[in-house]
Structure formats: structure tokens, C-alpha cells
A and B are shown apart, each in its own frame.
Chain A
């Protein structure tokens, strides 16, 4: 049997969908290019910053992180004003230092022996002002914790943060342990605090495996990309989800759009992403955001809608404005569901890592991609294993946060 002869073929006009898409993109690029440039700059800078922080953190950053941990405790209890003043003073001095070298002058006017030990610690020839400022801030915050009648838990947190910082600085700058292992330990410690010893043990072993495969730098660069993509996705997704929960119309419009974003093959929107942002990490992040965002929107909407209507009514009945109801009632109660959404966002971002590697985002994606390109089986497999380790770590970590119900959180806060 031959092919059927089409005697009555109906003329279906060719709709140039692809061309339309292209011309839209062109128009956007031509007219709103500066917006994309700005977005690209911000995202690129964030990813770079995070990669550096994860692979080669400076002592100043570590000190600031410790200060942030102490601040978190202070913000929960009393002493908010003091904390704000301290951070404000720090930021002012830091800006002044950047602009005029004022901090150096201030420090220079102080008695030198104060800083000599610190500088010896880092083997520095001169006093490095930002580090000194950060150390001063941390000291002041620690003092503030003990000066105000802070709960015992906060004091332990403060002591722990300072001790951990000193340990890290000593290990790296004095003993000379490579920073990879220290970051590894810090990530494991985070796992311990948030989830428990099982995850901590797993992360030590898993990350050691990554280090031994010599994929640590790539893994951390991928982690940075994922974190930035997640943050962007959440920042976009949660407000959209909230709006969708309020408006059935918007919800109806969003549904097909979200389906579109999730099912359109990722390679397809890599092309315009490159067109807008060029090769590199930024299109990787953008593609990841587009692909990973939908569950964030969906679960936020679901979470807000699931909040008991009577509770919202209670807020209204006592005269609370809508925004206050959203902030104090709906969001906290939807948090468990929203966190489940964020967990999904992270997981989907991970699955995009390899595709992002194709557009030159670097990291593990790059490893896997070159493994494919060169038919290098060991290389591809090692990259894949590293992705799996990262995935399990991030999933369990966010999952542990999800498990706390609102009531549990209140109980925990009360116990502290």
C-alpha cells in the first residue's frame, strides 16, 4: 500500500508563532535592554559573591556572619534598638572607610596593642579596617547580649557563635587547614542544628566524598547558583502566590502560565535567556528560576487558601487591616506549605544545574556536560554523584524546617 493520496487537502495557514516570539524578544531587548542588564548585573554579582563566600571566605565575612547569628537572637528578645544602633554604626563606618578611609583613621587613633593580637593571628602586616570593624561589632553585640536580660538560649548562641568564629579563624589562619574542610564542617553543623545528627553525619561523609573527588569548587559554585535562583524564585513566587490566593481571576489566568513555564522544554527558553544575558551564570539562573518557580507560586496560593477562614475572620472581627492579617495570621500559618513549595523550588533548581552548565554557568553542570561531550564516563558520573549529595543535603535541610507546624514553632519559641 502506498501513501494515501490527499485529494481534498484543506489549506491550513502557517502561523508564524516562532517568528512572533522572536520579534517580541527583539523588541524587548531593544526597548527594555537596560532592565535586563540591571537584573543580569545583580544576579551575576550575587552568584559571584556567594561562590566566593562558599569557596574562599574572608575573615571579615566570617566575622560578620557570626555577628548576624548573635543579632538574630537579640532581635527576638529585647535590645532591638541597641542592635540596630550597632549595625547602623558599623555600616556608617564601613561606608566612611570605603569613601574616605575614615575607619582607618579612627582605628589608628586607638591604642595599637588592642589589635596587635588580631593582626598577628592573620599574619597581616597592617590593620585591615573592615575586619577590625567587624570584630568590634561582634564584640559589642556579644556584650549587648549579656548586658540586656536576654534569655539563656541567646547567651549560649552568642557564646557559640564567637567560639565557632575563633575556632574557624584559628584553624584556617593559624593551623592552616584548607577552607574547604572548614566550610564542610560549618554546613554539617547547620544540618545538625536544623535537622539532627543523622543529616550532619551524612553531610560530613557526602561532602568529604565530593572533596575527595576534587569537585568541591564546582559543587560550591553550583550551590551558589541554586541559592541565588531559589531566592529570586521565592521573591517572585510568594507575592504572586499571595495575590492568586486573593483573586480567583488571577488564579485562573496563572494556572496555564505556570503549566507553560513548567512544561516548556528548558532548552527553549535558554535561547532567549542567552540572547538577553549572554553566556554565563546569569542565563543559567534565569532558566532555573523560570523552571523552578511554579511550585513556589502554587504552594503559596494553596497555603494561604488553606488557612482556616474563621481565623482570618477573627482578625477582621478585631479590626486588623488586611496587610496585618496577611503578615500575622495567613503567612505564618501557611508557612509550612510555603516551605514545602520552597523545598520543591530547590529540588527543581538542582535538576536544572546540568542544563545551566550548557550555557556556561560552570559548576557541576559544567562537569557533567563536559563528561557528556567528551564521553568521559568517570567525570560525568562523579559530577552526577556530587549533584545527588547536594540534592539530598538541601532536601533534608528544608524538609526539616517544613516539619515544624505553627503551633510547634510557638511552643519552641516559648521554651527558649
Chain B
């Protein structure tokens, strides 16, 4: 059962909202119904959030994301559609039951922290439990624990004003954690913080999530933040869902031009991993073959380097055409001795950003090997560079042996243009 399910949610402000919903559900854009004098904030939004997932809703200001999140905990009633939390349709709940559900299942972290200035940090953190009527000693105990989790021991008796922005938002987070709900809504929670602190907070949130396994619905206008945090991302545009998918899906297969444009500025080297940019290792040479067979394979594939792998695809090393040619001429019968074992190996989950240094130091393509040392792919430098180009990640997996040749032989500048050509060609 999904933790949260939104089905065909609409939120339209204005007197003629029902009429507007009717028109919008026929696919009209919200600008087309301006004469109804309504504001359509959220239009036909559906998604499911699985327990333990970080689901990021991303959109620019005015895209309806804040309205959407407020419907998820019933602060705003939807105009049409329904929200289910743990299988309960909250739109149908009476006010009192809704309050109880909020207290027990969904807590919230706010953009501007929304800490109570007239309460100490500890009392702020304990607020959710106070509302639920938990005795003072117990709620303070649990609030202390949550403050410890976010690294605020020793600040319990201060008031929020005495804390920096980052610390205040930690209190906000601790308040949500103390309430001990399974679901946490975070409304632009880190947007008011400066970039360095924002990064810290993101890291901390990911750690906490790994530790506590909460379901987090996170709202942001910052795509990099969305990519970093989100297991899945929902891109909103003008109140409608533009695309829902993982960070990689959104970058590599943007649903439309809007999403593609949006993702242009993303640091894709942090999103893509070695496995998403690597190419199939062609050709590979069996260590049992002789140099003559190896040379023929390489010539057939027009490549100057080839990886040597066992039958079970365990990586042995790499051979160069020159060395093989030399061996053939001098009559060496065995590949052993020609294989360079000292080849750079990377894990499939390594971020592309972390590959550059290794690629620069190695004269050969990077070998992508899994946990059992099996070769699963290769990354020539040209591929690495091509991965930086927007919208190119899928296409540029196509290059054939020729690219390897270029990668090994040509200087970087040439390789880049070649890579670009390859992606435009759209082979595969």
C-alpha cells in the first residue's frame, strides 16, 4: 500500500471552481480559463509515494507545489480528486479525525522554519507531542532525543532567535522527528538557507532517512536539490505534472521540451553514474587466445585497445594493438606478458563526476567492473565528455569501435566534437 496516494487532485481558488475543473480536465491550459476569474493552482495531479521513499515535488514558483503539499495533509481541501494516507481518504474525514491523523501520521517542516519564538528549542521540538497530550517529562525526553539526532545537544534551553538559520531548520526537523510520524512533508525546507548549509542539511537528511526510514515528501524549486535527494521526482509545470521519474530518467528521457530545458543546467555528472554512461565492452579478448587472433579481433573492430576477460567476464587487463603487432612479428605465441593488468577500474555506481581524474590519468578507457571483478562496460574519455552534453546520455552509448580509436588516439578537443557528432547521429 502506498504511504500517500494522490488521485486526480485539483485545487482551484475562486467562486467558479467546479466549472474550471471541468474545463481543465478536458485538457485546457490554466491561462485559457482566465475569464472564469479563478486561480488553478493544482491540476490533475496523481502520484503514489511508497513507504520509505523520498519523493521530491519540483517546480518553479507558481507551479502549485506549495498548494499541493498542503492538500496532502489536509491543510487545504482539494477541489476535486482525493488524497489517501495509508489507505485513508483524508478528504472525506471530519475535522477532528483529520487533526488526529495529522498529529499521528504526517508532520511538516516549513520553508521559513515556523518555529514558535516564544518557546524554547526544546518546547518547540516537543510541540507535536504536546498537542497529542503526551506528558511533559516523556515529550521532553523524546524531543531531546530528536534534537540529538539533528546535532543540537546543548541548545535545548535557547530560544529560536538565538540560533542560526541552519540550526533553526534543524529544530524544525527535530520537531517533525519528535512527532514520530511515518510521513514528513518538507515545504522548501532548505530554500531559505545559504548554499553550504543547504548541502549540509541535505546530507544530514539523507543520513537520517537511511537511519529512520521515514517517508519524505520534499518540495523544492532547486533541481540540483531534487536530483540529490529524490528517489523519484515529480516535475510540476503550471499546476500539472510534467514528468514523474528517477533523476536519471528525467535527465536522460525528458518527457517534453520544458523538462529538457529545465534540466539543462543540472550538474549531470553528479546524477549519472558510471553504469549509465558506460558502453558495452566490444571487443573483448580471451586470455587463452594467441596474439594473432587478438590482432584480428581488434582490426575487425577497428580499435587500438581491447580488454582481456576470462570466460566468466572477470577482467584480466588490457592490450594495445602496437604491442600485439610487435608480438605477432616476433612470433610470440602467448598473450601473457602483453596484457597490461594495471588498468583503472571503477564501480558501476560511481558518479560520473568522480571518473574524470581516473580517466585523465589512464591512457586506456576506464573499465567498469562489478563487485565480482566482472567487466560490465567500458568508458572511453570521449563518452565521458559526451555525457556532459544535455540530453545526450542515451544516444552516446551508441559509438562503435571507431570511437575507441579516436579516444585513444585523438587529443581531447577532437574527441569532444566527435562525441557530439556521435550523439547527433543517434545510432542505436
The chain A residues found within 8 Å of chain B, CB to CB, are 308, 310-311, 313-321, 324, 328-329, 332-333, 405-407, 409-411, 414
Contacts and interface: CB of A to CB of B under 8 A. Distances in A.
A318 B127 contact: yes
Contact of A317 (B108, B116, B157): B108
B58 interface: no
A314 B108 contact: yes
B221 interface: no
Given A318-B131, A320-B131, A313 B103 contact: no
Of B114, B132, B161, the most chain A CB neighbours within 10 A belong to B114
Nearest to B161: A407
B114 to A, nearest CB: 4
Contact of B120 (A308, A328, A410): A410
Contact of B112 (A310, A407, A410): A310
Contacts of B70: 313
Contacts of A314: 108, 110, 114, 116, 127
B128 A318 contact: yes
B102 interface: yes
8 contacts: A310-B111, A314-B110, A317-B107, A317-B185, A328-B116, A406-B118, A407-B118, A414-B157
A406 B75 contact: no
Given A319-B132, A407-B160, A407-B161, A333 B111 contact: no
Number of chain B interface residues as a range = 20 to 34
Contacts of A318: 102-103, 107-108, 127-128, 131, 175, 179
A84 B85 CA distance: 44
A311 B131 CA distance: 14
Interface string B101-139: 111101110111010111110000001100110000000
B110 to A, nearest CB: 5
A310 B110 contact: yes
Given A410-B159, A414-B157, A311 B102 contact: no
Given A407-B161, A414-B159, A308 B114 contact: yes
Contacts of A409: 118
B320 interface: no
A319 B120 contact: no
Majority secondary structure of chain A interface residues (helix, strand, loop or mixed): helix
B98 to A, nearest CB: 8
B100 interface: yes
B99 interface: yes
Given A407-B161, A410-B119, A414-B120, A319 B114 contact: no
Given A317-B75, A317-B102, A333-B118, 16 more contacts: A308-B112, A308-B114, A317-B107, A318-B103, A318-B107, A319-B103, A319-B104, A319-B132, A320-B99, A332-B118, A333-B117, A406-B117, A407-B161, A410-B159, A414-B120, A414-B157
A224 B108 CA distance: 49
B73 interface: yes
Contacts of A406: 117-118
A328 B104 CA distance: 20
Of A318, A320, A324, the most chain B CB neighbours within 10 A belong to A318
A336 to B, nearest CB: 10
Of A310, A316, A317, A414, the most chain B CB neighbours within 10 A belong to A317
Contacts of A320: 99, 131
A329 B130 CA distance: 13
Nearest to A308: B114
B15 to A, nearest CB: 15
A324 B157 contact: no
A321 B96 CA distance: 8
Contacts of B111: 310
A310 B113 CA distance: 8
A410 B159 CA distance: 7
Nearest to A332: B118
B124 to A, nearest CB: 9
Contact of B114 (A310, A328, A332): A310
B102 A319 contact: yes
B114 A313 contact: yes
Contacts of B106: 317
Contacts of B185: 317
Contacts of B73: 317
Contacts of B103: 318-319
Q: Which 3 A-B pairs have the closest CB atoms?
A: A319-B103, A406-B118, A317-B108
Of A310, A314, A332, the most chain B CB neighbours within 10 A belong to A314
Contacts of A333: 116-118
